[in-house]
């Protein structure tokens, strides 16, 4: 049986959604029979591969690196899931949008509030440039399914992945499936 190529990606988020994915516990063993994890922060794979079937995207789009990666993901992936409230609404990382553009945010955080040797973080090629505005994933690329929650609990994650593996559509209805927070 051909295995589904599954990727999980960590953009601007706290990794809590990935922790919730790991809460799938023993079901992960069952999942491993049906999918190949081809890219994930829990696997040491450097490049996003071609021909990914399903990708869970945690986090918002906050910097140049996130932006380049999500565009590459869209090109190489059949089905993208906005995974958790940061991906769906920008949530916590998006709170900085209230302060203004990137320069204002950086000055406030690293100069005005820097107690010891205030300086801006700059290391081209290592520290990615912040975007002026943090965006939810669907504002940048098309998303195939929204999976809200901060984080979505393991049962909700399973209720989405399980039908997709059978080429069925998850039923995204009711408090159990679409409650934010
Ligand atoms: S949705 Fe919540 S748990 Fe997931 S990355 Fe954002 S803050 Fe963390």
Give 2 Cα–ligand 1 centroid separation in angstroms. Answer: 32
Q: Does the C-beta of 59 come closer than 6 Å to ligand 1?
A: yes
Q: What is the CA radius of gyration of the chain?
A: 17
pLDDT tens for 93-126 read 999 999 999 999 999 999 999 999 999 998 988 8
Q: Taking residues 29-37, what's their average pLDDT?
A: 96
What pLDDT, on a 0 to 100 scale, did the predictor assign at position 97? 98
Ligand 1: residue of 41, 92, 93 to mutate (most ligand atoms within 8 A of CB) is 92
CATH for 4-96+134-178 (3.90.550.10, 3.40.50.700, 3.30.465.10, 2.60.120.10): 3.40.50.700
What pLDDT, on a 0 to 100 scale, did the predictor assign at position 2? 85
Q: Does 70 score more than 80 pLDDT?
A: yes
Strand ranges in the chain using DSSP code E only, listed in sequence order: 4-10, 35-39, 52-58, 61-63, 77-83, 130-135, 145-147
Give 23 Cα–ligand 1 centroid separation in angstroms. Answer: 14
Q: Does the C-beta of 23 come closer than 6 Å to ligand 1?
A: no
In the block, tokens 């999500």 appear at 70
Per-residue CA distances from 42 to 46, 64, 174 (Å): 11, 22, 31
Q: Does the C-beta of 151 come closer than 6 Å to ligand 1?
A: yes
C-beta of residue 152 within 8 angstroms of C-beta of residue 121: no
User: What are the start-end ranges of the H helices in 61-171?
Assistant: 64-76, 85-89, 102-106, 154-165
What pLDDT, on a 0 to 100 scale, did the predictor assign at position 86? 98
Q: Taking residues 163-168, what's their average pLDDT?
A: 96
Q: Does the C-beta of 84 come closer than 6 Å to ligand 1?
A: yes
Query: What rounded mean pLDDT belongs to the chain?
Result: 96
Between the CA atoms of 126, 42, 39 and 141, what dihedral angle is there, to the nearest 10 degrees? -70
Residues paired with 55 in a beta bridge: 7, 80
The Cα–Cα gap between 37 and 28 comes to 11
Q: Does the C-beta of 53 come closer than 6 Å to ligand 1?
A: no
Q: Does the C-beta of 91 come closer than 6 Å to ligand 1?
A: yes
Q: Does 22 score more than 80 pLDDT?
A: yes
Residues paired with 177 in a beta bridge: none
Q: Does 1 score more than 80 pLDDT?
A: no
Q: Does the C-beta of 90 come closer than 6 Å to ligand 1?
A: no
Listed by start position, the domains of the chain span: 4-96+134-178
Per-residue CA distances from 79 to 5, 11, 85, 87, 146 (Å): 11, 17, 18, 15, 11
Give 103 Cα–ligand 1 centroid separation in angstroms. Answer: 24
Give 18 Cα–ligand 1 centroid separation in angstroms. Answer: 9
């Amino acid at each position: 049986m051909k295995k589904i190529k599954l990727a999980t990606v960590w953009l601007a988020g706290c990794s809590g959604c990935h922790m919730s994915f790991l809460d799938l516990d023993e079901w992960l063993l069952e999942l491993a029979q049906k999918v190949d994890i081809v890219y994930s922060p829990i696997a040491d794979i450097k490049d996003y591969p071609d021909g990914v079937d399903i990708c869970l995207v945690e986090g918002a789009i906050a910097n140049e690196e996130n932006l380049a990666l999500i565009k590459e993901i869209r090109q190489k992936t059949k089905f993208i899931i906005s995974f958790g409230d940061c991906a769906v609404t920008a949530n916590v990382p998006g709170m900085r949008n209230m302060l203004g553009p990137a320069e204002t945010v950086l000055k406030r955080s690293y100069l005005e509030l820097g107690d010891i040797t205030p300086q801006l973080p700059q290391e081209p090629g290592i520290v990615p440039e912040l975007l002026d505005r943090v965006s939810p994933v669907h504002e940048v690329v098309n998303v195939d399914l929204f999976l809200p929650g901060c984080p979505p609990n393991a049962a909700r994650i399973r209720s989405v992945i399980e039908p997709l593996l059978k080429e069925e559509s998850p039923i995204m209805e009711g408090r159990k499936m679409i409650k934010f927070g």
